[in-house]
């Protein structure tokens, strides 16, 4: 599994569905560089079980991300038509009706491969033919990308393990606190807590008070 933290986030152009049902061609994260932080997350498949709980949870907290000037973008290997159908299916029927943030279609699986969250790989057989080995789906990867397009945080869960949206918000708060104050964030830091300067005296003072 590649560690992308500290590196440029892989860019792409792909089909996406935005605003709960509008098709967009050549959607790209490039539009946010210099303007917004981005939470870019992958999920395995549309019309599954854990996935709608995550996508709906991101929607429920979308205003919190927007207050922080953060764009939320989802992605899976499904087609844009599958995304559209899922977005237009009621929650009680397993759908994600009401989700407004962009959902990218990675039908070619190249985006998931570039972020190294694809649960499998293409291999050559002895006869020279190529086939996919593993699950042609993305793990539950999440990437926090700053305004310069650099990945500052990543976490990858296996298929059965849903993510914490509150933890994603906490990491956004921590990054923005550091950017604004130049102070680092100790263990279990939350918005409103004090930070630490990067020197021995600051560490000693912090530890003596906690």
Active site residues: 51
Q: How far apart are CA 148 and CA 160, in angstroms?
A: 32
Instruction: Supply φ then ψ for residue 99, to 5 degrees.
Output: -75, 130
Could you give the 3-state DSSP secondary structure of residue 171? helix
DSSP string of 87-150, one letter each residue: HTS-GGGT--TT--S-EEE-TTSHHHHHTT-EEEEEEE-TTS-EEEEEEEEE-EEEEEE-TTSB
């Amino acid at each position: 599994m590649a560690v992308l933290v500290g590196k440029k986030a892989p860019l792409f152009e792909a089909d996406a569905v935005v605003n709960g049902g509008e098709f967009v061609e050549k959607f790209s994260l490039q539009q946010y560089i210099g303007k917004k932080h981005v939470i870019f997350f992958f999920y395995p498949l549309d019309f599954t079980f854990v996935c709608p709980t995550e996508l709906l949870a991101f929607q429920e907290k979308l205003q919190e991300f927007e207050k922080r000037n953060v764009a939320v973008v989802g992605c899976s290997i499904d087609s844009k038509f599958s995304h559209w159908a899922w977005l237009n299916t009621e929650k009680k029927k397993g759908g994600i009706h009401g989700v407004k943030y962009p959902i990218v279609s990675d039908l070619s699986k190249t985006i998931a491969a570039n972020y190294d969250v694809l649960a499998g790989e293409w291999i050559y057989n002895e006869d020279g033919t190529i086939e996919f080995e593993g699950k042609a789906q993305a793990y539950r990867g999440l990437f926090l990308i700053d305004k310069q397009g650099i990945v500052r945080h990543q976490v990858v869960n296996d298929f059965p393990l849903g993510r914490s949206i509150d933890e994603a918000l906490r990491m956004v708060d921590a990054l923005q606190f550091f950017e604004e104050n130049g102070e680092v964030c100790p263990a279990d830091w939350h918005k409103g807590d004090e930070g630490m300067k990067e020197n021995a005296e600051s560490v000693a003072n912090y530890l003596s008070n906690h």
